């Protein structure tokens, strides 16, 4: 499953691109849409970005590896020196544009579906809409070449206000058109892929281009003029940052992009997801590095749990409990969220809360229980000072809005709170067979969707994306590595994990596949085969002796 970049320079499937020395693409990637999006001016822009910033990106990624080796050997992440300009200086982020000043509820979803993008930006059937929509090219989107190009196309259409989707007529249902309500849409924010990923369908000087630079560059090229014409801000969510020097790199990338388009300094704005354990210790330093372009930080709770496990996976005293037990009320999680609010607000930046990952349940009773959980979760986030939060489905927007009654809460400062709390994860909490079964079910369901080119799946009344798959993968590996004895008495070993995979696959086949086949208008046997292949792949990944840093590090070749 893990894909790694390699030098495609001599691969016969790759062709030189006329007029661009050192640029090569596979024949299959050179579709009509690719040629339209990668027009000469766009090609020049992203190639120049890559050549300028790739050497430093490689150095930063090498430093990540060095830090992880030290943690594997027994070290732990910690705070930096407390006498730096970032800590002692009298600074604030640059003024926040008007269209980014109210972000009480943000809805997130993959950007490759025009229908989904329109539904995220428009009001729901209930007449409510989110304040902002995070159009995702990262955890919610499988980075196939077609998906990435579709996402860029939809982002360009959303920026211009021209995006349209038509559901064709079907037996018993008329044709339906989806169109943006241009005068009443959520603020769009784009999330590119992380700086550790590679886009192998576009090679520069013998190596795949940085997926992050490909995404931010190509999206900006196709959205910036339309946004500026409409008085809107080109805005990004930046994922997976691990160090303030990585934030400095991003800040320089934004500056170079502004210079290319003759934009005033600080025009591009970014919110950084604090979703890794090392970044939690460097929030203030990260915000300082992006103060020209930064408008806030976000508590990326699901990736943070994955990072907690990955960073300290070899530490026997840091083995985490069941995923469902790791709530924001856990001491290290609440300390991380409160610290983010404290630092952001004292520096004039927004402190965004995390994701409620529910999808509407199949019965009124399930939906009522979900609404209660969403409401409690968002009230808690509002109570500690967050300025807004995320939801994964329009159904929950109005319930989340009810918890955030103010435009923002920048006045919540926590001036008397310790700025350097203990942020290291703790082992307290249940470790159960049910928790292991949840991990296995998520692995099977997510990878079945991945086979169908889907990067997020609705499963067991939750929206599972790459972050939650990574939690399941990493936790299963950690429990296996340490031979954890579960509260139920079973010891986690290779045979137990494989047994659970067999049992959960059979349960899915017996209880789920019939309804899934009906919903997809597919035959049951093909659905069963898909889940069987996914279970085999997930089992192989989950039982590896060594845990890979990420499920994948490069995109797949164009089909």
- Whole-number Å distance between alpha carbons of 455 and 111: 11
CA 404 to chain centroid: 23
Fill in the DSSP letter of residue 98. G
Give CA separation, 468 vs 133, 164, 305, 464, 540, in Å. 20, 31, 9, 6, 18
Residue 536 is encoded by which pair of tokens?
A: 């085999």
What are the helix (H) ranges across 349-490?
364-383, 397-401, 433-451, 466-482
Q: Out of 103, 191, 323, 338, pick the active-site residue.
A: 191
- Whole-number Å distance between alpha carbons of 149 and 33: 7
Angle at which helices 114-121 and 145-160 cross, to 10° = 40
Q: Rounded to 10 degrees, what is the CA torsion of 284, 285, 288, 289? A: -150
- Whole-number Å distance between alpha carbons of 341 and 413: 7
Tokens 């004039």 correspond to 348
Q: Out of 318, 387, 465, 473, pick the active-site residue.
A: 465
CA 293 to chain centroid: 20
- Whole-number Å distance between alpha carbons of 559 and 551: 20
Residue 151 is encoded by which pair of tokens?
A: 């996402």
Residue 370, φ and ψ in degrees, nearest 5? -65, -45
The tally of CA atoms less than 13 A away on the side-chain side of residue 467 is 25
Asked about 191 being catalytic, the answer comes back as yes
Asked about 69 being catalytic, the answer comes back as no
Instruction: For residue 359, give the nearest of 468, 239, 272, 451 by alpha carbon.
Output: 468
- Whole-number Å distance between alpha carbons of 222 and 237: 17
- Whole-number Å distance between alpha carbons of 388 and 554: 32
Just list the catalytic residues. 191, 465
């Amino acid at each position: 499953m893990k894909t790694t970049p390699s030098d495609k320079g001599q691969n016969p499937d790759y062709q030189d691109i006329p007029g661009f020395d050192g640029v090569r693409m596979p024949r299959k990637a050179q579709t009509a849409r690719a040629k339209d999006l990668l027009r000469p001016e766009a090609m020049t822009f992203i190639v120049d970005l890559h050549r300028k910033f790739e050497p430093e990106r490689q150095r930063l990624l090498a430093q990540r590896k060095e830090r992880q080796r030290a943690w594997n050997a027994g070290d732990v992440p910690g705070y930096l020196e407390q006498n730096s300009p970032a800590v002692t200086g009298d600074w604030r982020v640059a003024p926040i544009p008007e269209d980014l000043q109210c972000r009480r509820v943000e809805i997130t979803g993959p950007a490759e579906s025009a229908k989904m993008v329109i539904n995220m930006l428009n009001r729901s059937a209930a007449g409510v809409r989110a304040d902002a929509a995070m159009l995702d090219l990262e955890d919610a989107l499988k980075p196939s070449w077609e998906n990435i190009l579709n996402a860029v196309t939809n982002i360009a259409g959303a920026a211009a206000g021209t995006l349209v989707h038509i559901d064709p007529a079907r037996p018993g249902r008329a044709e339906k058109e989806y169109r943006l309500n241009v005068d009443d849409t959520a603020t769009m924010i784009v999330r590119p892929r992380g700086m550790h990923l590679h886009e192998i369908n576009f090679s520069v000087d013998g190596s795949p281009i940085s997926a992050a630079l490909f995404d931010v560059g190509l999206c900006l090229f196709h959205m910036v003029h339309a946004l500026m014409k409409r008085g809107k801000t080109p805005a990004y969510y930046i994922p997976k940052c691990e160090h303030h020097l990585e934030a400095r790199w991003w800040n320089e990338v934004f500056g170079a992009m502004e210079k290319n388009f003759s934009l005033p300094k600080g025009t591009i704005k970014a919110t950084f997801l604090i979703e890794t354990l090392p970044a939690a210790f460097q929030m203030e330093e990260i915000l300082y590095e992006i103060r020209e372009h930064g408008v806030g930080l976000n508590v990326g709770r699901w990736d943070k749990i994955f990072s907690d496990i990955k960073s300290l996976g070899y530490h026997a005293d840091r083995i985490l409990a069941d995923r469902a037990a790791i709530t924001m009320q856990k001491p290290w999680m609440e300390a991380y969220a409160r610290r983010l609010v404290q630092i952001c607000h004292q520096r004039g930046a927004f402190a965004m809360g995390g994701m409620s990952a529910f999808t509407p349940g199949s019965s009124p009773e399930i939906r009522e229980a979900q609404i209660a959980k969403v409401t409690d979760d968002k009230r808690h986030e509002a109570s500690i000072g967050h300025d807004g939060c995320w939801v994964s489905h329009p159904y929950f927007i109005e319930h989340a809005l009810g918890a955030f009654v103010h435009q923002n809460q920048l006045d919540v400062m926590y001036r008397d709170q310790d700025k350097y709390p203990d942020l290291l994860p703790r082992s307290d909490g249940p470790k159960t067979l049910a928790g292991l079964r949840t991990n296995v079910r998520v692995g099977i369901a997510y990878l079945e969707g991945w086979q169908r080119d889907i990067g997020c799946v609705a499963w067991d009344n939750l929206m599972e994306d790459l972050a939650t798959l990574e939690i399941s993968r990493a936790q299963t590996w950690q429990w296996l590595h340490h031979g954890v004895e579960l509260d139920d008495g079973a010891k986690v070993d290779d045979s137990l994990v494989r047994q659970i995979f067999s049992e959960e696959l059979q349960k899915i086949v017996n209880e789920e596949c019939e309804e899934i086949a009906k919903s997809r208008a597919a035959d049951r046997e093909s659905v069963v085969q898909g889940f069987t292949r996914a279970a085999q792949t997930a089992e192989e990944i989950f039982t590896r002796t060594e845990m890979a840093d990420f499920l994948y590090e490069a995109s797949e070749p164009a089909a």
